[in-house]
Structure 1
Amino acid sequence: MNTGRVVFVGAGPGDPKLLTIRGMESLRLADVIVYDRLANQQLLSYAKKGATLIYCGKEADHHTLPQEEINLLLIQEAQKGKYVVRLKGGDPSMFGRVGEEAQMCRDYSIPFEIVPGITSGMAAPLYAGIPLTHRDYNSSVAFVTGHLCEKNAGKEPDWAALASMETLVIYMGVKNLPRIRERLLAHGKDAHTPVALVRWGSVREQETLIGKLGTIDKEVEQARFAAPAIIIIGEVVRLRESLNWYESRPLFGQRVAVARRVSDEGNSELVIALEQLGAEVMPIPLVEHCTFDTPLTELATYRWLVFENEQQVSFFTSVLRQQRYDVRRLTSKLAVCGQRASEAFEKQGIYPDLMLDENTSLLALPDLLALEKEEQVLYAGERKPQKITLDHGKAIHVIQAGTLVWDGKELSAKKDGCSFDSLATDDVYTLSALAQFAGDAWSKTPIVCVGKETAVAAREMGWQSVSSHEDHAININELKDDRTLNDQGGGT
C-alpha cells in the first residue's frame, strides 16, 4: 500500500500573511486539506488545482465533524496515498488537539509532520497593542484554556497559582468569564487588575474591550461581546493606551478589493500601500480571456498588424505560444501604439517595425502606414470589432485580441458573501473585469484608480465615485486622506 502522510499546519491567528513559509509550502503540495473555522479561507488559495477541501469547523455546541470522525478521515485519506494537510487556526499545539490526531497517525503507522503557527494568544494581544511581557510590569505569563473553568470534579485548575501569575492569557474563556473572575478574586487577585478581551484578532473585524477584573463579566455582557476572543489579565493591559498600533491605522476596518492577475507574482505597490494603512486587501483574481479568432495561417493576408496597447500584445503573443506558432513565419509588418506596447513585444524578443502615438485615429492609419492598393490592416484594440472599407480596396479589420475577466472559479471572499468597501486598481485593463466582479451596482461602487489613464477610463465607463492618484508611484499619504476609501463605500 502506498501510504501518504499527514501534515498538521498552524494557520495563524487570522491575518493570512502570518502563515509560515513551511505552512504555505505544505498547502501547495496537499492533495487533501481539512480546515478549521478559525483558519482564514484565503489560505486555501494556495491549494493546487484539484485538491480536495474539507471543512470541519467547530463552534460552541456545534461540530461539523466530531473529533473521532476527523481523526478517522485523516487516516483514511493518508492510507489512499494522499498528502493530507490538517489546517488548524493559530498554533496546532495550543489547545488544538494536535496531540490526539498525531497519536492516531502513529497508531496507524502514518508518517506525519507538525508545522507550528502563530498562536492567537500571542498575536491578538499584540495586534491590540498589548505586549505580554514588559519589564516595568511583569516577568511571567501563563496560558490557560477557559474550557477547564467548570465546576466538574478533577477539572479545576490551580486557581491559587493562576491568581499569583502577573499575566494570564485565557483561550476560549468568554462563556466561563463569570466563573474565571469569581475564582481569581477568591484567590487574591486584585479587583482593579486591568483586563482586555480581543475578538477576531489580526483581521479587520478585530474588537477590543478594556475593563477591570471586578466588573469585567458585566461589561462583556453589556457590550454583547461574544467569542471567539482572547482574554488578557494583568498590568500589561495598560500599555494598550500608548501602543495601540493596529486599530489606530487610518484604514483599519476597511476591506478593499484589488484587481490581481492570476499570473502576477508578489504584491503590487498598491497592495503594500493599502496594507500599511491598515486596510484588509481582498485579491480579485483576473484571467486573460483570449478572443483572437483570426486563424494564424491567414495573417499573411494583412500588410500590417497594429496593436493598440500592451494588453492586446499580451493576448496575441499568448496565442502564438499556445499554438506553437514560430514568429519567423510572420510576413506582416508590426506596428504598436505607444512605448509600453512596444516594450511588451520586446520582452518576447520581437521588435515592431513602427511605433505610433497612443491615441492614433483609425482613419489616420492608411497614411501613417503608407497603405497601397488592396492592402489590409488587422487592428487589435479595445474598440468595437468592425471592418472599415477604404478606397482602392484598402481595409482595416478591427478586432479584440482578448479581455481580462474575473475568474469566478477561483476561491474568493465573495463566495462566502463577504462585503467590501471599495475597489482599487493600477491597471486600466482590469476595469471591465472589476465591474463584472462588483455586479449590477458596479457603477455606484467606489473605486481607487492609480494612474491618470486608469481614472479617465473608469469615469468614461460610467463609474460614479472615482478617486484618482495620477502618479504610479503610490503616495501613502494621499491614500490615507482618500475620501473614497474613508467614506465607507458599499460593496457586494
Structure 2
Amino acid sequence: MNTGRVVFVGAGPGDPKLLTIRGMESLRLADVIVYDRLASPQLLSYAKKGASLIYCGKEADHHTLPQEEINFLLIREARKGKYVVRLKGGDPSMFGRVGEEAQMCRDHSIPFEIVPGITSGMAAPLYAGIPLTHRDYNSSVAFVTGHLCEKNAGKEPDWAALASMETLVIYMGVKNLPRIRERLLAHGKDAHTPVALVRWGTVREQKTVIGKLGTIDKEVEQARFAAPAIIIVGEVVRLRESLNWYESRPLFGQRVAVAKRASDEGNSELVIALEQLGAEVMPISLIERCTLDTPLTALATYRWLVFANAQQVSFFTSALRQQRYDVRRLTSKLAVCGQRAFEAFEKQGIFPDLVLDENTSLLAFPDLLALEKEEQVLYAGEGKPQKITLDHGKVIQVIQAGTLEWDGKNPSTKKAGCSFDWLATDDVHTLSALAQFAGDAWSKTPIVCVGKETADAAREMGWKFVSSHADNAININDLKESYAK
C-alpha cells in the first residue's frame, strides 16, 4: 500500500505573510489541505491545481467537523497515498490539538511532520505595540489558556503561581475574563496592573482595549469586545503608548484589492507601498483567457501581424504554446506598438521586424507597413473586433488575442463575505477584470490608478471615483493623500 503523509502546518496569527517558508512549501506539495477558520484564506493560493480543500473551522459552540472526524479524515486521505496538510491557525502546538492528531497518525503508522508557526500569543501583542519582555519591566512570561476542555472541567490552574508571574499571556480567555480577574486579585495581583486585550491580531480588524486588572472586565463589556482575543497582563502593557506601530499607520483598517496575474512573481511597487502605509492588500487572482479565434494555420494569409501592447503579445504567445505551434512556421512579418511589446516578444526569443509608436493610427498602417495591393494585416488590440477594408483590396483585421478575467474560483479571493474598501492597479489591462470582481456597482467603487494611461482608461470605462498618479513612480505620500479623501 502506498502510504502518504500528514504535515501539520502552523498558519501563523492571521497576516498571511507571517507563514514560514517551510509551511509555504508544504502547501504547494499538498494533495489535500484541511484548514480551520483562523488560517488566512490567502494561504490557499499556494495550493497546487487540483488539490482538495476541506474546511473544518471551529468556533466556541460550533464545529464544522468534530475532532474525531478530523482525525479519521487525515488518516483516510493519507492511506490513499496523499500528501495531506493540516493547516492550523497560529502555532499547532500552542493550545491546539496537534498532539492528539499526531498521536492518531502514529497509532495508524502514518508518517507525519510538524511545522511550527508564529503563535498569536507573541504576534498579537507585538502588533499592538507590546513586547512581551523588557529589561525595565520583566524577565519572565507565562502562556496560559483561559479555557479548559470538558475533560479538565473543574480543574483549577495554579492561580497563586500565575499571580506571581510578571507577564501573563492568556489565550481563549475573553469569556472567562471576570473569573480570571477575580482569581488573580484574590491571589495578590495588584488591581492597578495594566491589562490589554488584542482582538484579531495582525489583520485589519485588529482592535485593542487597555485597562487595569481591577476593572478590565467592565471595560471589555462596555467595548463589546468579543473573541478571538489575546489577553496580556503585566507592566509591559504600558509600552503600547509609545510603541503602537501597527494601528497608527495611516491606512490601518483599510483593505485594498489589487490585481495579481498568475505570472506575477513577488510583490509590485504598488503592493509594497500600500503595505507600508498599513493597508491590508487582498490579491485578486486574474487568469488569461485566450480569444484568438483565427486558426494558427491561417496566419500565413496575413502579410503583417501587429500587436498593440505587451498584453496582446502574451496572449498570442500563450496560444502558440497551448497549440504547440512552432514559431518558425510563421511566415508573416511581426510589428509591435511600443518598446514594452517588443520586450515581451524578446523574452520569448522572438524579435519583431518593426516597432511602431504606441499611438499609431490603424489608417497609417498601409504606409508604415508598405502594404501592397490586396495584402492583409492582422491587428491584435483591445478594441472592438472589426474588418477595415482599404483601397486596392488592402484589409486590416482587428481582433483581441485574449482578455484578462477575474478568477472567481480561486479560494484565496472568494467574494462571499470578503469586503474591501478600495481597488488599486498600476496596469491598464487589469481594469476590466477588476470591474468584474467588484460586481454590479463597479463604477462607484473607488480605485487608485498609478500611471496616466491607466487613470484615463479607468475614467473612459466609467469609473466615477478615480484617484490618479500621473507618473509610474509610486509616491507613498501621494497614496496617503488619496486614501484620506
Q: Tell me whether 313-322 or 211-220 shows the greater mean CA deviation.
A: 313-322
Decide whether aligned partners of structure 1 residues 149 and 70 sit closer, same or farther in structure 2, where only a CA change above 3 A counts: closer
Decide whether aligned partners of structure 1 residues 186 and 347 sit closer, same or farther in structure 2, where only a CA change above 3 A counts: same
SS of the residue aligned with 1:415? coil
Q: CA deviation at 1:144?
A: 0.4
Within 1, Cα distance between the matches of 2:439 and 2:309?
27
Contact 2:33/2:51 (8 A) holds in 1: yes
Within 1, Cα distance between the matches of 2:318 and 2:80?
38
Q: CA deviation at 1:399?
A: 0.8
Q: CA deviation at 1:266?
A: 1.0
Q: Tell me whether 365-374 or 195-204 shows the greater mean CA deviation.
A: 365-374
Contact 2:44/2:412 (8 A) holds in 1: no
Give a deviation string over 1:78-121, Cα, whole Å, max 9, x none.
12221111111100111001111111111111111110000000
Q: CA deviation at 1:329?
A: 2.1
Within 2, Cα distance between the matches of 1:367 and 1:51?
53
Within 1, Cα distance between the matches of 2:50 and 2:336?
40
Contact 1:149/1:176 (8 A) holds in 2: no
Q: Tell me whether 172-181 or 300-309 shows the greater mean CA deviation.
A: 300-309
Question: Which 4+ stretches in 1 moved above 4 angstroms?
Answer: 149-154
1:44-63 alignment, distance < 5 Å: 44-63=44-63
Contact 2:124/2:230 (8 A) holds in 1: yes
Q: CA deviation at 1:370?
A: 1.7
Contact 2:171/2:231 (8 A) holds in 1: yes
Give a deviation string over 1:249-286, Cα, whole Å, max 9, x none.
11100000001111111111111111111111111111
Q: Tell me whether 64-73 or 444-453 shows the greater mean CA deviation.
A: 64-73
Contact 2:408/2:414 (8 A) holds in 1: no
Q: CA deviation at 1:320?
A: 1.7
Decide whether aligned partners of structure 1 residues 151 and 217 sit closer, same or farther in structure 2, where only a CA change above 3 A counts: farther
Contact 1:455/1:466 (8 A) holds in 2: yes
Decide whether aligned partners of structure 1 residues 279 and 460 sit closer, same or farther in structure 2, where only a CA change above 3 A counts: same
Give a deviation string over 1:423-442, Cα, whole Å, max 9, x none.
01111111111111111111
SS of the residue aligned with 1:6? strand
Q: CA deviation at 1:327?
A: 2.1
Q: Tell me whether 406-415 or 291-300 shows the greater mean CA deviation.
A: 406-415
Q: Tell me whether 406-415 or 293-302 shows the greater mean CA deviation.
A: 406-415
Decide whether aligned partners of structure 1 residues 150 and 104 sit closer, same or farther in structure 2, where only a CA change above 3 A counts: closer
Decide whether aligned partners of structure 1 residues 149 and 190 sit closer, same or farther in structure 2, where only a CA change above 3 A counts: farther
Q: CA deviation at 1:8?
A: 0.8
Decide whether aligned partners of structure 1 residues 328 and 152 sit closer, same or farther in structure 2, where only a CA change above 3 A counts: closer
Q: CA deviation at 1:473?
A: 2.5
Gaps of 5+ in 2: none
Contact 1:386/1:397 (8 A) holds in 2: yes
SS of the residue aligned with 2:418? coil
Give a deviation string over 1:428-459, Cα, whole Å, max 9, x none.
11111111111111111111111111111111
Q: CA RMSD in A?
A: 1.9
Contact 2:428/2:457 (8 A) holds in 1: yes
Q: Tell me whether 410-419 or 182-191 shows the greater mean CA deviation.
A: 410-419
Within 2, Cα distance between the matches of 1:404 and 1:213?
55
SS of the residue aligned with 2:173? coil
Identity %: 91
Q: CA deviation at 1:51?
A: 1.4
Give a deviation string over 1:125-169, Cα, whole Å, max 9, x none.
000000000000000010000014999876111111100100000
Q: Tell me whether 72-81 or 394-403 shows the greater mean CA deviation.
A: 72-81
Decide whether aligned partners of structure 1 residues 98 and 402 sit closer, same or farther in structure 2, where only a CA change above 3 A counts: same
Within 1, Cα distance between the matches of 2:61 and 2:318?
53
Contact 1:148/1:157 (8 A) holds in 2: no
Within 2, Cα distance between the matches of 1:61 and 1:207?
23
Within 2, Cα distance between the matches of 1:328 and 1:98?
56
Within 2, Cα distance between the matches of 1:153 and 1:204?
35
SS of the residue aligned with 2:150? coil
Within 1, Cα distance between the matches of 2:286 and 2:476?
25
Within 1, Cα distance between the matches of 2:34 and 2:328?
50
Decide whether aligned partners of structure 1 residues 100 and 150 sit closer, same or farther in structure 2, where only a CA change above 3 A counts: closer
Decide whether aligned partners of structure 1 residues 342 and 155 sit closer, same or farther in structure 2, where only a CA change above 3 A counts: same
Decide whether aligned partners of structure 1 residues 245 and 47 sit closer, same or farther in structure 2, where only a CA change above 3 A counts: same
Within 1, Cα distance between the matches of 2:327 and 2:154?
78
Within 2, Cα distance between the matches of 1:61 and 1:317?
53
SS of the residue aligned with 1:198? strand
Within 2, Cα distance between the matches of 1:314 and 1:452?
23
Decide whether aligned partners of structure 1 residues 317 and 153 sit closer, same or farther in structure 2, where only a CA change above 3 A counts: closer
Q: Tell me whether 200-209 or 84-93 shows the greater mean CA deviation.
A: 84-93
Matched, 1:226 2:226: yes
Within 2, Cα distance between the matches of 1:436 and 1:423?
12
Within 2, Cα distance between the matches of 1:174 and 1:327?
65
Within 2, Cα distance between the matches of 1:454 and 1:148?
55
Cross-structure match for 1:121: 121
SS of the residue aligned with 2:178? helix
Decide whether aligned partners of structure 1 residues 364 and 151 sit closer, same or farther in structure 2, where only a CA change above 3 A counts: closer
Contact 2:129/2:240 (8 A) holds in 1: yes
Contact 2:345/2:352 (8 A) holds in 1: yes
Give a deviation string over 1:361-414, Cα, whole Å, max 9, x none.
111111222211111111111111111111111111111111111111211343
SS of the residue aligned with 1:151? helix
Contact 1:256/1:420 (8 A) holds in 2: yes
Decide whether aligned partners of structure 1 residues 340 and 190 sit closer, same or farther in structure 2, where only a CA change above 3 A counts: same
Q: CA deviation at 1:342?
A: 1.5
Q: CA deviation at 1:309?
A: 1.1
Within 2, Cα distance between the matches of 1:330 and 1:112?
53
SS of the residue aligned with 1:437? helix
Within 2, Cα distance between the matches of 1:398 and 1:372?
19
Q: CA deviation at 1:317?
A: 1.4
Contact 1:149/1:179 (8 A) holds in 2: no
Within 2, Cα distance between the matches of 1:199 and 1:162?
22
